[in-house]
Structure 1
Amino acid sequence: MPPPSDLAIATKAVERLVKEEAFYRAELAKQQDRVRQLAAEIAAATDPSTLDSNAEYVLKQESRAVDETNAVFAPLRQRTAESVSTLEEQIAIREADQVDGAAGSDDELEKARAVLRTGQTALAKEI
């Protein structure tokens, strides 16, 4: 089996980074929901003895987790932007090779273009 081409490697990198960002976004939403629930429970408690003795600590830890997850996005977006740029270069190289008559996988090129659009869309979204 031949090794994967540079185009295939660049395509997989962008796919992986887009999936990773989607995972972190979903995780962040769950964490924010837990923080809201805990804060609401603490605020709604009329009798402090009915609260879990660690409720304030748990809220603080959950808030810290939200902050840590938010800190992941800037470096992740930077790596995604770099990978998208690399993929654009690899697509251009493959297209130039096809014009010159070199044989290449059209399926691989089409998949790369689709993943490139996905990566560009992910980068265009607000943080």
Structure 2
Amino acid sequence: MPPPSQLSIATSALIRLVKEERSYHKEAEQQQASITKLEQGGGDENAEFTLKQERNGLEQTKAMFPQLKAKIEDALARLEQQLEQDKGPGDQSSPEDITRAKEAVAEAKTAIREAS
């Protein structure tokens, strides 16, 4: 089996970062729901401590978004550059790799737009 091409590696890195960003958004939604539930219920003696911990966790999750956006933008630039390089003579990438890379570029641009 031949080693993966540079285009394939750059594509996989970008896809992983977009998935990670989605995961953090999902986690933030779950934490916000937990906070809302604790604010409404608040019956046990540890409610204040738990609420404080959940808010802290939500803030830490939100702090990841700017870093992830920067990483996605960087990986997107690298992938677009790799796509440009692969257009020249001696193209090493398969049509499937190129299609997958273009789909990853579109997903990353959507994720960046949504994060802004």
TM-score of the two chains, using structure 2 as the length reference: 0.94
For 2:104, the equivalent position in structure 1 comes to 115
Partner deviation per Cα, 1:14-35 (whole Å, 9 max, x = no partner): 1000100111101100000000
Amino acid at match of 1:120: K
1:2 shift after superposition: 1.7
1:79 shift after superposition: 0.5
Match of 1:80 among 67, 72, 75: 72
Q: Take 1:74 and 1:103, find their aligned partners in 2: how far apart are those partners?
A: 34
Q: Is the 8 A contact 2:35 2:51 kept in 1?
A: yes
Partner deviation per Cα, 1:58-107 (whole Å, 9 max, x = no partner): 000000000010011111111000000000000001112xxx25453111
Q: Take 1:28 and 1:123, find their aligned partners in 2: how far apart are those partners?
A: 17
Partner deviation per Cα, 1:94-127 (whole Å, 9 max, x = no partner): 112xxx2545311111111111111111111134
For 2:93, the equivalent position in structure 1 comes to 104
Q: Take 1:102 and 1:126, find their aligned partners in 2: how far apart are those partners?
A: 34
Amino acid at match of 1:117: A
Identical amino acids, percent of aligned pairs:
35
For 2:114, the equivalent position in structure 1 comes to 125
2:55 aligned with 1:63: yes
For 1:30, the equivalent position in structure 2 comes to 30
* Aligned CA-pair RMSD: 1.3
Match of 1:53 among 39, 42, 45: 45
Aligned length: 116
For 1:39, the equivalent position in structure 2 comes to 39
**4+ aligned runs moved over 3 Å, structure 1:** 101-104
Gapped regions of structure 1 (runs ≥ 5): 43-50
Gapped regions of structure 2 (runs ≥ 5): none
Q: Is the 8 A contact 2:11 2:104 kept in 1?
A: yes
Larger radius of gyration: 1
